[in-house]
Structure 1
Amino acid sequence: MSAVKPRVTNLVIDCTDMDALAAFWGELLAMKVTSREDDWLNLEPFGQGGPRLSFQKVPEGKTVKNRLHLDLYVPDIEVAGRRASALGATPAGEPLGRPEAPFRVWYDPEGNEFCLCTEH
């Protein structure tokens, strides 16, 4: 029996307001909505053949720390942080990491963590 190698097709974020959250992430990542249903919304793929960022409507709000989050490379975490804040994100704390490669944890409008990172 040969092993089947799975392919990641979607990175899914559960949310209570998928339109608002998709608008935040779409603007932050410069990605457009490609499809929408009553309880599911897709943004375009990350690059050619990459997974889509998807949003699934759920009745409950977020209550605990994410076990999976996105690390987003940016040249300057302060500049990118000001833009994320203007879109509705809030910082989770002060910048961390080495002075030459800082990162900062942020919350999206529904409290999902993501990091703005410089090169590791």
Structure 2
Amino acid sequence: MRAQVSEIVFDCGDPAGLVRFWAELLGGTPVDRGPDWSYLEPPGFARIAFQQVPEGKVVKNRLHLDLHVADVSGAADEAIPLGATRSGGLVTDEQGDFQVMHDPEGNEFCFVAG
């Protein structure tokens, strides 16, 4: 069997708020299907959806998105006013640079270059 990714879903407390944060990072138009479900179709990527759940995030995500950018530090600086936070410092290795970030609800993602 072969399956195709049609959408990636984040559990969250505020779907409408979180979809707007990710739209600023990835592009696309936020869509609110209701108070408990929003989604975004970023250019060149699968749909990303946000569903409301009653519990908050407690532990590190087992899956995260790596977002390729030309300038990791610059991208992090631009994401912070949108509600992102850095987790640790800039990491540079033989593959390039990356910065672990958190979205406004604490979900991890990375800016990467290289």
Contact map agreement 1:17 1:57 (CA 8 A) in 2: yes
Code of the aligned partner of 1:93: G
Q: Distance in 1 between matches of 2:102 and 2:93?
A: 21
- The residue number in structure 2 matching 1:90 is 85
Seq. identity, %: 47
- The residue number in structure 1 matching 2:72 is 77
Measured after TM superposition, the shift of residue 13 of structure 1 is: 0.8
Q: Distance in 2 between matches of 1:15 and 1:62?
A: 8
- The residue number in structure 1 matching 2:36 is 39
TM-score scaled by length of structure 2: 0.92
- CA 1:38–1:5 in structure 2 vs 1: closer, same or farther (change >3 Å)? same
Contact map agreement 2:86 2:99 (CA 8 A) in 1: yes
Code of the aligned partner of 2:96: A
Query: Pick from 2, 5, 27: which aligns with 1:8?
Result: 5
Largest Rg, 1 or 2: 1
Query: Pick from 109, 112, 120: which aligns with 2:107?
Result: 112
Q: Distance in 1 between matches of 2:51 and 2:26?
A: 18
Code of the aligned partner of 2:97: P
Q: What per-residue deviation string (whole Å, max 9, x for no partner) do you get for residues 74-107 of structure 1? A: 0001110111111110000001131771101000
Query: Pick from 17, 21, 27: which aligns with 2:18?
Result: 21
Q: Distance in 1 between matches of 2:91 and 2:63?
A: 18
Structure 2 unaligned regions, length at least 5: none
TM-score scaled by length of structure 1: 0.87
